[in-house]
Amino acid sequence: MSAPYRTGLVWFRRDLRAEDHAALHHALLQCQQVHCVFVFDSAILAPLPRKDRRVEFIRESLVELDGRLRALAEHPQAGLIVLQGPADSLIPNLAQALGADAVFTHHDDEPAALARDARVRTQLARQRQALHTYQDHTVFERSELLTRTGSPYTVFTPYKRAWLARIDDARLAPWPVEPHAARLAPRPAEHCRPVPTLQDLGFEPSDLDLRVLPAGSQGAQQLLQDFAGRIDRYDQARDFPAVKGPSYLSTHLRFGTVSVRSLARMALERSRQGSAGADVWLSELVWRDFYFQILHHHPHVVERSFKPAYDAIAWETGAQAQAHFAAWCEGRTGFPLVDAAMAQILRTGYMHNRLRMVVASFLTKDLGIDWRWGERFFAQHLNDYDLAANNGGWQWASSSGCDAQPYFRIFHPVTQSRRFDPQGRFIRRYLPGLAALPDAALHAPWEASPLELQAAGVVLGRDYPLPIVDHATARERTLQRYAVVKTVER
């Protein structure tokens, strides 16, 4: 079959792998020669701190991707062109310089990305070049799953039923790259350079531990192989932060160093074999698709509540709210599980999923602080930050989202602690100053006896803060605060 295009350009973004890659597959089929590019977009990099774990993860993943493309092409000058600057101008400029007939990339439904892609498409059209985009980041996307009336789902359970009814081997089949890799072109001399260093990019090494979070496709496969031996216990282990229960693949899913199709394929196969753990983990992948289609159909969630009535809530403001928020951000609330969770995200860029719910509930329903404050904090610190999932999770916790928990469901931070970290292993790991307290006192140090505190060398208010709120009192204030929702919804 003859290729309709002479030259194509594949624009890598949140898909940093060379296997099972839809855009690269289609480009290799449709073009006689194919170039590959990644842009460190200045619009994304500008607000980031100079030590950013995600930039380091991306950079390490690009080094592997560059080597893999050269190996596939079997040519030393093949590989990845890496640029830094405004992507909406650099991509059309590069396409024109290379004489590309078309640019190939994947869908990205984040509002800023859609606006960027529209500008790129317009400029490419002026240059008589095409922009082809493909599905890759989810199993089902946009309007692929609709209700019988043709509307998008806003409740998860029927969405999951539709997802499972439509899933088949063809949907999860990989997009092969290797059979056509000979069409990967050598880079022009001016672009035949190694991936820039962090210093070249204006960044510094972070405290990212690549032994814990190995980068690139090889890192993803390493974590996947480890999880494959634990997935059958996922349903029992996933809620306990001191237990090795999660897959730890969320950052790899975020940056596409692993194909979501391959993960769903593995989970579905194990689920069909009767694995309860695989079945629950597959549901997490379905939740991920669900939040992406919510973002596509309801982009107002980026700034406002999914349920408009919840925008009438009067959140706490002023000096005390600012002080409470700072205490939450810094892990100084006086509730050990909350503070240990915040220490985890600050120290590692990761937070266990159960703890994400706990700290989000605490911020919105114990402190009465707007969920958007917490959403922005997570966006700054999470290695796996993804707008759709982060927004969906925060709106779920604050009860303002689609299919969210009821507003009167308020996690008790001490009950959650005793239930999901009963021996205090997680708390002791991240709050070593409390390590000597007995298990019974660890979850609520203010209830410990003077002798227990003295034996542990803990003085409340000096070594560890007293609780900044009383949970029972805060719960009553939250029920009053949310009462406006019932009034508005009438």
- Catalytic residue positions? 284, 287, 315, 353, 371, 394
Measured distance CA(154)–CA(139) in Å, rounded: 18
Helix axis angle, 371-381 to 318-329, nearest 10°: 30
Q: How is residue 344 written in tokens?
A: 């985890």
Q: How is residue 6 written in tokens?
A: 């002479």
Measured distance CA(319)–CA(316) in Å, rounded: 10
Mention every residue, 6+ apart, whose C-beta is less than 8 A from residue 316. Answer: 324, 367, 368, 369
Neighbours of 476 (CB within 10 A): 11
Measured distance CA(412)–CA(430) in Å, rounded: 20
Q: Side-chain half-sphere of 199: how many Cα atoms within 13 Å? A: 0
Measured distance CA(275)–CA(233) in Å, rounded: 8
Sheet with 80-85, strands from edge to edge, namely: 80-85, 31-41, 5-12, 102-106, 130-134
Neighbours of 440 (CB within 10 A): 12
**C-alpha 195: how far from its chain's center?**
24
